[in-house]
Structure 1
Amino acid sequence: MNKHIVFLEYPKCTTCKRAKKWLDEHGIAYIDRHIVEERPTADELAAWQAASGLAPRRFFNTSGMKYRELGIKAQLDAGMSEADMFALLATDGMLVKRPLVVVDDGEQVLVGFKEDVWATSLL
């Protein structure tokens, strides 16, 4: 069962470091992608959101400074369209919740690091 896994991370993020350590400890091979230097496109985000089954809002890094600075919660609450959400997320990797794991080109998408969910999905 060889899966193609892309691990999108911000290297200074402590949750990303924990997640990467978990992948390494479990011998899971992955392609590392810096979420700021090689930020996801709106199309990628839309496809990943559809594959994840999660609401588009779950892809926002709600604890990030950028999220607060830009007043994104108010924009979302005002009824921002999904297309506009993905376009906004694509402008800055720091807006995207991380880490983000994309398995087999979007067959499965994990947002954030929850060890039990990752164990069920990746092991």
Structure 2
Amino acid sequence: MPNEVLVLAYSGCDTCRKALKWLKEQGVAHQVRPIVDMPPTVAELEQWIPRSGVSVRKWLNTSGQSYRALGKAKVDAASDAELVSWLAADGKLVKRPVAVTGGAVLVGFQPEAWARVLTAAR
């Protein structure tokens, strides 16, 4: 489907479950990609980060174990290219869910933003 939304989500994530429920309730066609098993590639991130309108650092799941394992100091010292490679290597490091449409990329679930972008795209 040309208007189908790709959603990168983790089944153990409450926020992801809320987002998927919201998509279903809104009738938004979507395909789910398990972010832990199939994290975004470096090439995808290089396209999606600029389209998201937020910096690569806003893509980090700062409340997760992967982030804590790296440590704030190491993350703060990392270049954007290093962060992209870490995000591509560990789907749990990515703030989720990520919704990808033809024109926009949404990071994290904010119902108002999702409604503005995803229901207008239908």
Please give the TM-score of this superposition, normalised by the length of structure 2: 0.92
Q: Which runs of 5+ in 1 are unaligned?
A: none
The list of structure 1 runs, each at least 4 consecutive aligned residues, that deviate by more than 6 angstroms after superposition, is none
Describe how 1:91-106 pairs up with structure 2 within 5 A: 91-104=89-102
Counterpart selection for 2:81 from 83, 94, 98:
83
Q: Distance in 2 between matches of 1:101 and 1:49?
A: 12
Contact 1:101 1:109 in 2 (8 A): yes
TM-score by length of 1: 0.91
* Structure 2 contact 4–28 (Cα < 8 Å) conserved: no
Q: 2:30 corresponds to which residue?
A: 30
Matches within 5 A, 1:1-123: 3-71=3-71, 73-78=72-77, 80-104=78-102, 107-123=103-119
Identity among equivalent positions (%) equals 47
Following superposition, the deviation at residue 37 of structure 1 comes to 0.8
AA aligned opposite 2:93: L
Residues of 2 paired with 1:10 and 1:27: CA distance?
21
Mapped partners of 1:69, 1:87: distance in 2: 16
Q: Secondary structure at the match of 2:89?
A: coil
The one-letter code of the counterpart of 1:117 is: A
